[in-house]
A = this chain, B = another copy of it.
């Protein structure tokens, strides 16, 4: 008997069904009580099912979509014109109780807009926030939000993020009392804008959140916190700058090893170590950003996600489904109502 159903948009991302179906195969093996509904172009999906030696069953269903959301589609147009897209159909399955969660590697802006329209927000929340795990030194990872959905945030919004991040960490990491920090330009209470000071005071009042005060940017990767909250503008820029810096450092180290025959020889010897290092900090391990604050579960897989990374996104959808994350967040938001009003 299956007790969780995942709706999968097969048409998003750089590789479409060729990666998604292979990832679903792995998840079918790993989670014997989970069923999958695949949405997308029928012939492409069937070709991949054949290639992966999969056949339809009680745990594997396919639904034909007649359209798909392109990476370049404007969110408003995707919402208005792509009503028979695989993305929309997968989200509607969640809305209609035909699935517990939706996974898509499609256009982020469109996924945000269509999710918000189809699934609706939890009471008191205006827009989904984007939250994802990022690697840290001391612990495995920190949950960081908002990564770009809400460029301007009120104090209340930031406090809602603290609740949502806290619940996600409890749910995915089985963490009892995750340490939550609010990003600022200093740790002292008098630092930052009035919005941040008010947000800090609000979060401190939330009895169920283990709030540790302001944190600075250099602490994001330290592992001293399990959840770090910021507005979407700062979050987006911090993450993209980190991507840019990683690329810069990787290129510079490559150049250092390519300088002459001796450095190239050293590079050859060091390659397995460098590769082990790369796999340790591999972003694929952290695939599966969550659109949080919705009435249903939506996991955004990275556009360039490979089979393993897509499997991680499916796994995250499954764990959130078992843990009923949106209901848990709703209860906490209800409890916090007096703090916010």
Chain A residues in contact with chain B, CB under 8 A?
Answer: 135-137, 148, 151-152, 183, 185, 192-193, 216-222, 230, 232-234, 236-249, 251-253, 256-257, 259, 263, 266-267, 269-270, 272-274, 276-277, 280-281
Contact = CB atoms under 8 A, between A and B. Distances in A.
Given A259-B273, A266-B273, 5 more contacts: A221-B241, A222-B248, A237-B237, A256-B274, A263-B272
A217 B241 contact: yes
Contacts of A185: 148, 151, 232-233, 236-237
A256 B280 contact: yes
Residue among A152, A219, A232, A253 with max Cβ neighbours from chain B (10 Å): A253
Given A251-B137, A280-B252, A244 B259 contact: no
A217 B244 contact: yes
A241 B237 CA distance: 10
Contacts of A240: 216-218
Given A193-B233, A219-B244, A245-B242, A273 B277 contact: no
Contacts of A234: 233-234, 237
Given A151-B192, A248-B135, A217 B238 contact: yes
A73 to B, nearest CB: 14
Given A137-B251, A151-B192, A245 B221 contact: yes
Contacts of A249: 246, 249, 281
A193 B234 CA distance: 12
A143 to B, nearest CB: 15
Contacts of A266: 266, 269-270, 272-273
A220 to B, nearest CB: 5
Given A148-B185, A252-B281, A244 B221 contact: yes
A45 B265 CA distance: 49
A240 B238 CA distance: 9
A240 to B, nearest CB: 3
A221 B269 CA distance: 29
A140 B206 CA distance: 47
A240 B181 CA distance: 15
10 contacts: A135-B248, A216-B240, A217-B244, A218-B241, A219-B244, A221-B244, A253-B274, A259-B273, A266-B269, A270-B273
